[in-house]
Amino acid sequence: MSTFADRKLEWNITDKCGVTMNRSVEGEIVADLMRGRPGVVVTEYPAMIRIDGTDKLVFDTNEISEALGKEYDPYTFQIEMSTHYGRMVVLDDAVVLYADFDATKEYID
């Protein structure tokens, strides 16, 4: 009989990145904007929205602002986001998530 302790831990690299957003007006709009984009999967739960992508996710805060009808910046995005996975780059007008750390090297001083 095999036990949990007998299992071998396998490490692998994923090509996925994503965020979990609060299920709020802002979170719903972000999900609606991302839904249907190539490589993006939006999963809705009662209190949160999960947005997963392949390789790279770009959350354009100008696009979100326009859809919301009010100012929305990367810092507000981070408040609405409860967690993320992947490498996050915060720009003046976007939050970008990369699955591959090497893709973020251009942003490192």
Within a domain: 95 = yes
Instruction: Please name the residue ranges forming H helices in 6-55.
Output: 25-34
Residue 74, domain member (yes or no): yes
What pLDDT tens digit does each residue of the chain (109 aa) get? 567 667 776 777 789 999 999 999 999 999 999 999 999 999 999 999 999 999 999 999 999 999 999 999 999 999 999 999 999 999 999 999 999 988 888 888 7
Span between the terminal Cα atoms of the chain, in Å: 52
Q: What is the value of pTM for the model shown?
A: 0.85
Determine if residue 26 is left, alpha or beta; phi over 0 gives left, psi from -120 to 50 gives alpha, anything else beta: alpha
Give the whole-angstrom CA distance, residue 40 versus residue 75: 22
pLDDT at 107: 87
On whether the CB atoms of residues 67 and 31 are closer than 8 A, the answer is: no
Strand partners, 5: none
State the CATH number of the domain containing residue 76.
Answer: 3.90.56.10
Q: How many domains does the chain have?
A: 1
Q: Is residue 3 domain-resident?
A: no
- The answer as to whether 2 is a domain residue is no
pLDDT score at 1: 59
